[in-house]
Copies of this chain bind each other. A is one copy, B any other.
């Protein structure tokens, strides 16, 4: 299947995901490469920090969320291409052993004014732990392809020639 075109999305649609369990080892190694701060690296050092114990980097949670989204049923044609996000929050820490999943809801669907072959959907994705507590909320804007026109009835050859891009 080629995935969903802009025309296949509608406000209010929801999409779930599978689950991923986070290990202490990967939480620490991700932090070692990208977010080397005591509360993400070492249980002992994390105890006296604002987190009160080892917590995953928010960027690890964000990356895991992306993995869950890619494997979810959202599947826009052309892939999940983020133009950015209007909001990104981490309401509570992610701990070693937490099992994460996502719930996504389509908030907005609109064709692009500048690119007639694509549009944008606004999607709120909540990442939840095994107790159904939200650990991340993101409201993202995704670029989605529009359904190609069937039969090409409105296109003639001169138009195609006009569109051709000179090579070199």
Contacts and interface: CB of A to CB of B under 8 A. Distances in A.
B87 A84 contact: yes
Contacts of A88: 84-85, 88
Contacts of A52: none
Contacts of A83: 89-90
A86 B89 CA distance: 9
- How often does this chain occur in the complex, in copies? 2
Nearest to A35: B66
Contacts of A154: none
A24 to B, nearest CB: 17
Interface of A: 30, 33-39, 49-50, 57-59, 62-64, 66-67, 70, 78-90, 118, 143
